[in-house]
Amino acid sequence: MSVLVVGSVALDTVETPFGKVDDALGGSATYFSAAACHFTDVNVVAVVGEDFPFSKIDFLKDRGVNFDGLIQKPGKTFRWGGKYHLDLNQRDTLFTHLNVFEQFDPVLPEHYREIPYIFLANIHPQLQLKVLEQIKKPQLVVMDTMNFWIEGTPESLKQVLKKINILIINDSEVRLLSGETNLFLGIKKLLQLGPQMLVIKKGEHGAFLFNNHAYFWTPAYPLEQLFDPTGAGDSFAGGFVGYLAKTGYVCDKNLRKGVVYGSILGSFCVEKFSLDRLREIELEDIEQRYQQFVRMTKIE
Amino acid sequence: MSVLVVGSVALDTVETPFGKVDDALGGSATYFSAAACHFTDVNVVAVVGEDFPFSKIDFLKDRGVNFDGLIQKPGKTFRWGGKYHLDLNQRDTLFTHLNVFEQFDPVLPEHYREIPYIFLANIHPQLQLKVLEQIKKPQLVVMDTMNFWIEGTPESLKQVLKKINILIINDSEVRLLSGETNLFLGIKKLLQLGPQMLVIKKGEHGAFLFNNHAYFWTPAYPLEQLFDPTGAGDSFAGGFVGYLAKTGYVCDKNLRKGVVYGSILGSFCVEKFSLDRLREIELEDIEQRYQQFVRMTKIE
C-alpha cells in the first residue's frame, strides 16, 4: 500500500558535541520518507520556499519518493536551529523560522486522495484535519504531535484524535495530555479520546505499543556512538508506518514488527548528521539489525 | 543449588505519597531472601541488634530461608529512613543508623562454606571479600554495589570485581565507575575489570544483561500503581540469582530467564510497603507474570 505523509521539509542548523552543520536537509516529512521508502512508495505533502535546493532531495526521488505534493511558495524555506548538550537528550532550540510554513495550506493532488496509509507529522492540528478531510478511504491514520500543540491548541488536537487510529507520542507528552503522572493510567485515558492504539517513544529506553488488549515493548538499539538525535522520531514513524503499509494488514504481529522497524530506522538516523546515514543504508542493513533485535529480546 | 546472601537485615521507616510505615522489615538480605526463596533454599549472613523483632522474619523461615548465619549483637538493629517524592524515582534519605551493622564481621557457619551460589549485597567491599574468602568452591558469585563504595573505596571495590562473575548495577553507577558517559562504552570498560557479565537495572525502563557475546533486554512490568520502590533492586537480585541457582546451570537461556524473573520479583516488591507484597505471592503468581513478559516482548 502507498503512504502519504504531511509535514515539513526544512533546512536545519544543528550543533552537537561532535560537530556542526548549516542548512542541512531536515523536516519531519523528509526523515519520515527516507525511512519509509525502504518498505513502500511514499507521497509527500509539504511546502518549501524559493531558496530550496531541490538537489538535496534527489536521493529520495531516486528511492521512489513522490514529491508531486511538495509545493514551492514565494519566501524562504522553514529553518530550524538547535544545539545539543553533551547529554544528547538535552537540547536548546536556537531559532525556529517558519517562513513559508506559516501560510502552509495543504491541498492534495487528486491522485493523492486515494492513498490508504496516512502519517500526519507534527504540524498544527487544524492542518492535520484538513489533510484527513481530503482522503477518500483512509485505512490507517497515524499521527504525531508535541507539547506545543497539546498546550496551545488542545481542542483542535482532540478533534484530530477522534479521527485517527494510532498516536505516536513520548512519555512526557502522555503525562501532559492526560494529566496523569502514572504513564499507564495516562495511556488508558488517551485511549478513550479516540485512538485505538498508542506507540510510546522512549528514546534510549526503547518504545512500546499499547492498546486495550496488548502491550508490546522493544528496546532501543545499543548504540555506542549517538551522533545527532534530530529526526529520530520521524524516522521511527517512517519505519513503523512504512512497514505496516508494505504488509497492507494491521494485525498484532505486523504492529510488533512495525515497532521494531521503527526503532531500527530511528537508530540509523542518529548515527550521522541530517539524513546522511539514512541515505546510505539498504534494506539489507535494516534486516540485519532486525535479526539483532530478535536476538536481544528473545527470552526462550 | 543453595544460595548464600550476605547483606543487611534492617528496620525501615519509609514515607511515600501513599502512606508511611515505621520500623518495617527491610534490608538487602531480607528482600533478596523473600524473592529467591521461591526458587531455591536461601542462607542468610547478617547481623541484628537486641531490639530485633524476630517474629517479623517468621514468614521467611516458613518459606525455608535459613538464618543460622544471622547473628545478634548488643546494641540496636540497623535503621534506615527515607521519603519518596511524587515522582517515586526521587527520594531523600532521612537517616541511616548503622548501629550493630557498623561492627559487622561476617563469619560463616561451617555448613555455609560449601554453598555454591553467592550474592554479595551492597555492603563494604572489604566485607564482601571476607565472605568470599570463606567460600570453598563458589560456582557463581553475583554482587551489588552503590555510588558510596564506588567513590569511597574504589580500590577495595576493584579487588572484589576481580573475583566475581556478575555485577548488578544501575546505569548511573556504570557511568560513575567507568568514567564513560556512553553507557555501552562504560559497560565494555567494566567488563575488563573482572566480571564476565553485567546486569543493568534501569527501574521503570527495564533491565539488560551484557557480556562480550550477547545482549539481552527485558522491559519493566507495566505497573499502574507503584507504591514503594524500597527493596526493588534486591528483590530483582533475588529473582535472578534464585532462578539461576534453581537451574544449577549458567547458560545464555537461563541467564535471560533469570533477568526476567528478577524483573518480576522487583515488580511485585514495589506494589506494597516493605515485604508485604512479596510475602503474599506464590510461585503461581510469578509464573503468570512470566507468561506476560513473554507475550509483551515476543516479536514474531
Looking at residue B225, its pLDDT comes to 80
User: Would you give per-residue pLDDT tens digits along chain B (300 residues)?
Assistant: 999 999 999 999 999 988 999 999 999 999 999 999 999 999 999 999 999 999 999 999 999 999 999 999 999 999 999 999 877 778 899 999 999 999 999 999 999 999 999 999 999 999 999 999 999 999 999 999 999 999 999 999 999 999 999 999 999 999 999 999 888 899 999 999 999 999 999 988 899 999 887 889 999 998 888 899 999 999 999 999 999 999 999 999 999 999 999 999 999 999 999 999 999 999 999 999 999 999 999 998
Provide the domain limits for residue A196: 3-297
Please list the residues that pair with A69 across neighbouring strands: A45
Encode chain B in three state secondary structure.
Answer: CCEEEECCCEEEEEEECCEEEEEEEECHHHHHHHHHCCCCCEEEEEEECCCCCHHHHHHHHHCCCEEEEEEECCCCCCEEEEEECCCCCCEEEEEEECHHHHHCCCCCCHHHCCCCEEEECCCCHHHHHHHHHHCCCCCEEEEECCHHHHHHCHHHHHHHHCCCCEEEEEHHHHHHHHCCCCHHHHHHHHCCCCCCEEEEECHHHCEEEEECCCEEEECCCCCCCCCCCCCHHHHHHHHHHHHHHHHCCCCHHHHHHHHHHHHHHHHHHCCCCCCCCCCCCCHHHHHHHHHHHHHHHCCC
Residue B296 to residue A256, Cβ atoms within 8 A: no
pLDDT one-digit tens code per residue, A138-189: 999 999 999 999 999 999 999 999 999 999 999 999 999 999 988 889 999 9
Grid coordinates in use for A121? Answer: 507529522
Sheet arrangement for strand B166-170: B66-72, B42-48, B3-6, B117-120, B140-144, B166-170, B197-201, B207-211, B215-218
Looking at residue A86, its pLDDT comes to 79
Q: Interface pTM (ipTM) of the complex?
A: 0.87
Task: Give yes or no for B251 touching A (CB within 8 A).
Answer: no
Please list the residues that pair with B216 across neighbouring strands: B209
Looking at residue B88, its pLDDT comes to 79
Alpha-carbon torsion (B169, A288, B221, B88), positive or negative: positive
Which positions ≥6 away from B42 have C-beta within 8 Å?
B2, B3, B4, B5, B32, B33, B36, B64, B65, B66, B238, B242
> Kind of pairing, strands B91-97 and B79-84?
antiparallel
Residue of A185, A215, A253 with shortest CB distance to B296 = A215
- CATH (domain of B246): 3.40.1190.20
Nearest CA of chain B to the CA of A299: how many Å? 6
- Check: CB of residue B39 under 8 Å from CB of residue B290: no
Task: Give yes or no for B18 touching A (CB within 8 A).
Answer: no
Can you tell me whether residue A234 is helix, strand or coil? helix
The distance from CA A144 to its chain's CA centroid, rounded to whole angstroms, is: 7
Task: Give yes or no for B282 touching A (CB within 8 A).
Answer: no
Looking at residue B79, its pLDDT comes to 96
- Check: CB of residue B237 under 8 Å from CB of residue B32: yes
% helix, strand, coil for chain A, step of 5: 40, 25, 35
Residue A299 to residue B260, Cβ atoms within 8 A: yes
Average pLDDT across chain A, whole number: 95
The angle at the Cα of B294, spanning B191 to A296, to the nearest 5 degrees, equals: 30
Looking at residue A226, its pLDDT comes to 85
Of B281, B283, B193, B262, whose CA–CA distance to B32 is shortest?
B262
Residue B256 to residue A300, Cβ atoms within 8 A: yes
Ranges of chain A whose pLDDT falls below 50 = none
Task: Give yes or no for B213 touching A (CB within 8 A).
Answer: no
Threshold 0.80, pTM exceeds: yes
Tally of domains within chain A: 1
Nearest-Cα residue of chain A relative to residue B217: A297
- Residue B139 CA to residue A39 CA, distance in Å, equals 49
Residue A299 to residue B208, Cβ atoms within 8 A: no
